[in-house]
Structures are given as C-alpha cells and as structure tokens.
Amino acid sequence: MESRNLTGYFVYILTIATLGPLLFGFHLSELNAPEDVIRCKKKSIKAAVAGPNLPQCIEMSPTEWGVVGSLYTLGGLMGALSAGPLAGRYGRLRAMQISTLFFAVGPIFEALSPNIGVMAFGRLLSGVGAGAAVVIVPLYISEIAPPGKKGFFGAFTQIGCNVGILITQLLGYFLSHDSYWRLILAIGGVIGAVQGAGLLLSVESPKYIAEQGNVSLAKKTLRKIRGEHADIEDEMNDWGASSAGQVDEEEQTLLSNEDGPVDARSKQSGKEQTLSIMQVFRHADYQKAAIAVVMVMLAQQFSGINSIVMYGVSLLAGLLESNSALLNLAVSGLNIVVTAGCAPLADKLGRKVCLLSSLAIMGTSSLLLAIGIIKSIPVLSAVAVLLFVSGFAVGLGPVPFILASELVGPDAVDATQSIALGANWIATFIVAQFFPLASAKLHGKVYFIFAALSAFFFAFISWYVPETKGKKNADETSAPNAEKHDHTANGAHHGPPPSIISPAFTPPATPGVSTPSHPRPPRSIPVDTSLSTSTPRPDLLPKLPQVECEVRARIPTTTGHEMWLHVYRNSVDTKEHLAIVFGSQIRSRSLDAERPGETELDRMTRGAYVGRLYPGRTSSRVEQLKKAAGVPSKREPESAFSSAHIDDSNGLLSPSSASSENGEVQPISPSELPLVRIHSECYTGETVWSARCDCGEQLDEAARLMADPALSPSGGAIIYLRQEGRGIGLGEKLKAYNLQDLGNDTYEANILLRHPADARSYGLATAMLMDLGLDGDRGIRLLTNNPDKVRAVEGPDRQVVVRERVAMVPIAWKTGGMKGIKSDEVEKYLSTKIEKFKHMLDQK
C-alpha cells in the first residue's frame, strides 16, 4: 500500500497512538536539561518560594537524584508487566485509555511537588503509563499497519520517543531557570490529556477483534481504517480469520435482540486462550522467541543510548562547556531525522541486518567517545555522540518494538511484549541508577564497557535471532530454513500449496493454506511415487528418528485371532508408540538384536523369542531348542513375502526377501504383500464409544483385514501412533468438538484453534516399519483413503515402498447403513474428509 492510499483516519489513529511513546521519551529525559535548576546546583538559584508552599528548587544529593530518576523506570517495569495481560483481556484500545490516566495524573504530582517524595511518586505514576504505552502501542500499530509496511510504521514507536525527547530538550533549553522547570513537567500531563481525548474517537485493533471471534466487526473496522474501496480479504486471510465465523449485520442484530450481544458469544467461541508470562517461557514453540526478544531489548539499553539521553548534558558539560545543551538538542533532532529516514530499511534490508548494523556503528562510536573524553578532544566527542545516536536510529531504536508481534503467535504476543519491555525497563533502571556512579569513577572509560556489550550482542543476534522480514506470521519465521525460502517481493506465494502431511515440521498454528485436492482414484490402485507427479509432495525429514522395540507380547483377541503387540521408544518424544502385528513372519530387528549381559530368560521376558512360550522353555532360539531335543535342522518353507528364515548369527527367525535357490527375487502379486495401516490414537473413538468419528471402527476393520489369511496371506501391521486428535492432543480435540457443535466442521475447528488441519507426523511410522523388516523394494500395501499419506509413509529416500493403496471403506457405506456407526456427527466428519481433505472420493 502506497502512502497516497493511506486514509486520513489511519493517520489520525496512528498519530494518537504514537503520543504514548512520545510521552515515554518526554518523561525519560524531562529532568536532563533542568537538572541543575531543580537541584539548586546553580549559584544564582536560591531555595526561594516560587508559589504557595512550592520552593523554587529542591536540594538533592546524587543518591536522591538517582532515586527520583530510577523510580520512573520502576513504574515503567510495573506498567510493562501488567500491560500485556491487560491488552489481551480488554483490548489494545482500552489498555491505551487506562495508560493515559497515569500520563495525566503523574505530571500533576511532579509539577506541584514540594519535596523529593512527591516528585518521586509523580515520576512513578508517569513511569507506569510509559511502561504500558511502549508495550501496547507497538502491538496496536503492528495490527493496524498495512501488510508489507509493518517495519516502516513500527518505527513510529521510536520516532515518537525521539520527538518526546526533543520536546523536553527544547523546553529545557528555554525554561531551565527560576521555577519554570515545573512548567516543563506539567506539559507532559497536558499531552496525556490530549491523547485520552483523541482515543475516544479511535477504534480497536481489527485483528484483535477477529481473534475474539467477531470476524464481521473486525472486517467492518478494517474497512474503516483502509477505506471503502480497499481490498482487505488477503489481509484478513493472513490473520487466519475463518469465513465460518462471519456473521452479517442482519444476523448480528437478530442475535443481539434474542440472546444478548453477539460480540460476547463470539468471544467465547472464537478466542484462543492467551498464554501467561511463565507459560510463554515454558512453551516449546515460543521459548526461543521470547529469549530472542528479551536479548534484543537488553541490547537496546545496554548499548548505552540512555547514558546520552538522560545524562548527556552533565556528562559533556565539562568538556563542551555551554555547548553541551545545544549538542543534546542536536542529538535529539538527529535521532528523529535518522530514525524517520531509516524507517523503510527494516522492510527493505531486514530486521536482523538493521540490528547488526546498529550495533556495529554504536560499538565503534563508543570507542571513539571514550577516547574523546579521556584525551579531552571536544570535536571527536561531539562527532562520536552524533554517530552513536545515528547508529541507534538505524536499528536498535525501532526494530525491537516490532519483533514480539512477528516472532510469536497471537496467543503469546501480549505476554512476550510484556516480558520484553519488562527486561527493557530493568536494563533502563540499571543504566539510570549506576551510570552516574560508573561515570564518576571511570569517566570516559565507561564507554569501553558499552563497546564490549555491543560486541557481545552483535555476536548473539547474529547466531540466535531469526530474520522476520517478509514473514506473514510466527509460523513462517520459526519454520526450518525459513530464511532460505523467501517469498516474492510483495510477499505473495506462487505455485501449488505444500502438502499438509509432513513429518519435517508441524507448525504451532495454521499455515494459512487450504488442504490440496487430488484427482479421483479407483477403489484400490497400484501406486508408484517414484514417477513424476503434479501433486505437491510433503517435506520429509532428511534423517528418520531412531526407534527401538522395548518389548512384544502375544495377545489373543476376542475374534479368535492372535496378534503381537510391540512397544516402541524413540529419539524424538517420550511416548510409547505401538506396532500391532499379525503374522509371525514380521519381526522387529531391534527387539531380536542381542543386548549386552542379558540372559535367555531376559530375552524371552521382553519377547525376543521364536514360536510360542510354554512352561519349562529355556531358550529363545529355535536352533538351540532343536539341538537340545536332537531334532535335525530344516529350512523353513518360504512364504510369498519376507520368508522367515534362520539368521545364523543368532538362531532367530528374521525377515528377508523371498528368493529362489539361486538367490533371484521371485515375483509376487500385490495381494500377497503385507497390509499396513497407520493409525493415530483416538481415545474418544476407541475407548468411550464416541459416534463423532469412525476411528474405533477403522481400527477394528484394519485388524479384521490383517488377521484373515485369505485377505492378507502375509499378515500385516498396524502402526499405532500416540498422536491424539490429528496430532493436537485430547484437550484441544475436545475444544474442537465444542466448536463443531457451534457449527464448524473438524477442519474449520482446527483452524480456529490455530492448529493445522492435520498436525500428524509419519517419520516415526516409517522408522518402525523399517525395524519390522517391511522396508525395501518388495513393498507393502497401505490401507488408507489419503493419497498424501503414501509418500509421507515411504520416508525421505523411499525406505518403505508402497505398491498398492487399499481404500478404507466405512462399514455403514458397505452395508447400506445396516451396520456401522450411524450419527449426524460421524456423517459430518466423513463429509468433511471428502469435501475438505478430498479423501474417499471413489467410495461415495
């Protein structure tokens, strides 16, 4: 969106919101220029009464002055930590309105302070407002800014801070005498009142409204910001706003009249639970992002910028004499010009490039400033200060405020912003409290410390912080190789969408693309994924997980058949995944492998034996038993698949390719290949008799097909993965059920919960099939209605080869409704598989 397309209303709400960061900068430096007047340090000033009970100045020791300055940062910390939860619960607009109360009241205590205590209290209140503002306003600006321009408008937070600093420097330059310093402090309250009035005509962030479930109101609000003729559909799609949640104006009116405000109900149905500060740090997906944002915020303060902003006049007074105040004015003006001029760089060059450039310039400037002060070279010091501030404006000024909204999802952005700004305020407190002491002891050498810190943060950001330029959401930023797969210049993505089945990456929120469709297949078809195809392929892990079968046991079933239950452990999670095996010729390699120090009883206890266990059996190995009984060894007859032959190394049956006497592979028909089903855990469908899905029925049907020697002469295996609810977990699945009762299908419910349509991973299944000897060119039959699953199960190098895809037909369809699960919910579930996932098109 070009500047000429920006509406006047957008400029208005942007300006009003930016008054918050302006007041942050105002209060940050309001005591800088008039310090000598306030503390009665100028010889011409007497502690005369300036008005009723108000002294002209207030004598303070350096320690007391440090307390007055640092209480502002303490208030800022309080405001920053509380603002995130406040903005998440009540909205960005209401949170900004609350912060203006502190901006209006705090300066009253400051301007009318008769003593140190009252002034310190006023500074504390102003700090609370400032701390809240720099948390909320960057979020608000990021959510109302046009796509592709978030970096540019995100810089307005820092520009506002710089304008506030310049205002106080100008006021201080002209009003630092007599009691006029009180007027400087009072003007901050006036600006706070102006912002409070201006917010009455502002609107809530449309993205925040959409996240509460009221998509219709969000669309109306965004239309007001962008203009009546603006195309806003793509922007709303980037938010993940589902069309299923839209309610037109007529429906809203009717619902409001009948059942109360639709907005309240929409919030209940559409809002995902926001995370607390501690939950963000414990969250596997957001922990790294939170650390990155915190470290960037610490870099902003420990680079030394506030040593110039807060103490520049007194620091350089001895060196530059009467010109120190003018230099600070020049610094403030330069900061605004450079920040505004460099604002587009974050979108053009990238956030990370700007941060690293900023640290390099500031580190070099710190060295020059240290030399200038130590060697008493005024020109070098002045140039170093101006270069120092310019470097800050390039990246460390504007970029940190926008990172939180780009590195984490909507459920964590409020808490992450509070964490980041809380760290920022702690760092500001440290600089405000200890820089005067360090400067008094070390003089110019203190800037060697800032140079070293800049070098440290340069190295850390280079290694740890990801680039967020061009990324629409946190999923794209956190995805593996996200920086390598950039979008086109305008952020558009061309070509077919990626498959939703991918063991390489399961995103914490919906990728924002629809499930790909597939051509109608026959009921049961041969497949060969080595052939070229136009359908998108899943991104597979370059290296499969490591798996090991811990134990297996014979399980007689209620149908009269037997199966072998295998329990697996792996290198990627702590769950006990299962393999349900039909047929004795399918064996686990890791289970049969000898383990150091184990006895024959140990081997039989964990199931590493051949044949059947019986009382008095002493060996797990067939050959040893035969020798002990005096029975000559005979070669076992070979089956059509993986004939169970004796492995000479351990005397155990193990799978191998069916071969003739001369070792040539014998051709076999697809029906003789073992049948494999990849099944994900479904507690509700398998255990508590749910009629919302047919998962339990599918599991039973798979077992029936594999146990029947006429249908599966080579047996089969059900790989039972602990991936409840398509990988989202039981708790989230129950939430999805509630959303389905509200009118969404299973696909839409997952999207509303910020989950992919299918979050399951199949890398474990591939590794388990290989361990069971079902790998190799001979191949398997895969029982599935999903064509995507074929390539996902085969693995990155086709370690497992699927020769035939066998359809899983619902029993109710095969029997004309006489048998099988019958319910409205399961019909909707199966319809969604057809319409959204394009499964079972050949069966309907």
Active-site residue flag, 760 = yes
Domain extents in the chain: 1-47+56-202, 276-476, 726-759
Round to whole Å and give the CA distance between 652 and 644.
9
Active-site residue flag, 234 = no
Round to whole Å and give the CA distance between 66 and 69.
5
Q: Where are the alpha helices (DSSP H) in 375-442?
A: 378-391, 400-407, 413-442
Architecture of 1-47+56-202 per CATH?
Answer: Up-down Bundle (1.20)
Q: Residue 624: its pLDDT value, please?
A: 65
CATH fold of the domain at 276-476: Growth Hormone; Chain: A; (1.20.1250)
Round to whole Å and give the CA distance between 55 and 649.
98
Asked, colleague to colleague, whether 1-47+56-202 and 276-476 share their fold, the answer is yes
pLDDT, tens digit (0-9, with 9 covering 90-100), for 133-190? 988 998 899 889 888 788 788 888 888 988 998 898 888 888 888 888 999 999 999 9
Q: Residue 828 carries which side chain, given as an amino acid letter?
A: K
How is residue 509 written in tokens?
């929120």
pLDDT < 50 positions in the chain: 1-2, 43-50, 242-271, 479-522, 634-666, 837-838, 840-844
Q: Residue 500: its pLDDT value, please?
A: 39
Tokens 């130590």, located at residue: 374
pLDDT, tens digit (0-9, with 9 covering 90-100), for 557-596? 877 778 999 999 998 888 899 999 998 889 999 999 999 9
CA 205 to chain CA mean position, Å: 20
Q: Residue 96: its pLDDT value, please?
A: 95
User: Measuring CA to CA, which residue among 32, 20, 30 is closest to residue 160?
Assistant: 20
The answer to whether 726 touches 680, Cβ cutoff 8 Å, is yes
Q: Residue 324: its pLDDT value, please?
A: 60
The answer to whether 399 touches 355, Cβ cutoff 8 Å, is yes
Round to whole Å and give the CA distance between 822 and 468.
48
Catalytic residue among 285, 414, 758, 788: 758
What phi-psi label fits residue 472: left (phi over 0), alpha (psi between -120 and 50 degrees) or beta? alpha
Residues 6+ apart with CB under 8 A from 697: 685, 810, 811, 820, 821
The answer to whether 774 touches 674, Cβ cutoff 8 Å, is yes
Name the CA radius of gyration of the chain, rounded.
34
Catalytic residue among 226, 351, 760, 791: 760
User: Measuring CA to CA, which residue among 159, 215, 186, 211 is closest to residue 18?
Assistant: 159
Q: Residue 509: its pLDDT value, please?
A: 37
How is residue 104 written in tokens?
């209006």
Round to whole Å and give the CA distance between 294 and 288.
10
Q: Residue 550: its pLDDT value, please?
A: 94
Q: Residue 539: its pLDDT value, please?
A: 62
Strands (DSSP E) found in 324-385? none
